[in-house]
């Protein structure tokens, strides 16, 4: 709730439900996740998120506000997780099948590491914000001891991989892996994050147009809407 760029965004309305509620609604359709944990800051202003998570029937864990590595570590420890999937709570249109895809891929590797289809890695072609990151608990535990930089403590992925530079932190310690995006929605130009008011207005319009017709709308529906409606309002 204390986002500096868009305060309160987690509870902003998307077609009649809070943003985080819509995320949980979609993630609950995943088939390859054993437990969903809403890991929130342990401060009073975020208690509303805890109430929301419990109303959706998911586990709620409260931990440090700015030390995300510690929050994830403690949440994973409490759930006895061997592998952790990370989905940022500002990605309002996670695609259940693509999360399942990266889970299966990660588990098939037979070694520990960091796997992601959350955004583009090595020209994978994914839209930004429909997948997830997977990493082994043992790596999270080691990152907790290994990295003290404030940015790494606040941004979990920077302990393993930097999307901006496309560089691994230490490939020998933590190998990086991804999957190619299916051709029908290979759109790396599409950003589905909610970090600013403008991005929220975009997402609000997307939900208002798509959700009433099909609550389980797919990324291909988003792309069709984006190309045919959002970018060409005069043709509506």
Query: In this structure, what CATH number is given to the domain that contains residue 160?
Result: 3.90.550.10
Contact in structure between 52 and 13 (CB atoms under 8 Å): no
User: What pLDDT score does 236 carry?
Assistant: 44
Domain-embedded: residue 2: no
User: What pLDDT score does 234 carry?
Assistant: 65
R_g (Cα) of the chain, nearest Å: 17
Q: Which residues of the chain have pLDDT under 70?
A: 234-236
Domain-embedded: residue 1: no
Contact in structure between 64 and 2 (CB atoms under 8 Å): no
Domain tally, the chain: 1
Domain-embedded: residue 67: yes
Domain-embedded: residue 217: yes
Domain-embedded: residue 3: no
Domain-embedded: residue 137: yes
50-84 per-position pLDDT tens digit: 999 999 999 999 999 999 999 999 999 999 999 99
pTM: 0.95
Domain-embedded: residue 4: no
Q: Which domain holds residue 142?
A: 9-235
């Amino acid at each position: 709730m204390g986002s500096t760029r868009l305060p309160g965004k987690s509870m902003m309305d998307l077609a009649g439900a809070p943003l985080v509620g819509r995320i949980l609604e979609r993630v609950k359709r995943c088939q390859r996740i054993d437990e969903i944990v809403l890991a929130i800051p342990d401060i009073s202003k975020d208690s509303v998120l805890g109430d929301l998570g419990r109303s959706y029937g998911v586990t709620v864990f409260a931990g440090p506000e700015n030390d995300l590595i510690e929050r994830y570590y403690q949440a994973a420890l409490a759930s006895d997780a061997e592998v952790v999937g990370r989905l940022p709570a500002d990605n309002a249109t996670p695609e259940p099948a693509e999360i399942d895809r990266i889970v299966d891929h990660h588990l098939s590797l037979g070694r520990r590491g960091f796997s992601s289809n959350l955004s583009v890695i090595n020209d994978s072609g994914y839209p930004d914000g429909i997948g997830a990151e997977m990493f082994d608990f043992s790596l999270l535990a080691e990152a907790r001891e290994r990295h003290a930089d404030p940015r790494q403590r606040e941004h979990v992925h920077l302990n393993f991989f930097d999307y901006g530079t496309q560089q691994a932190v230490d490939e020998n310690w933590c190998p990086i892996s991804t999957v190619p995006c299916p051709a029908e929605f290979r759109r790396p130009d599409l950003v589905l994050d909610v970090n600013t008011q403008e991005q929220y207005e975009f997402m609000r319009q997307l939900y208002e147009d798509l959700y009433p017709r099909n609550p389980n709308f797919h990324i291909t529906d988003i792309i069709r809407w984006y190309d045919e409606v959002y970018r060409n309002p005069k043709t509506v």
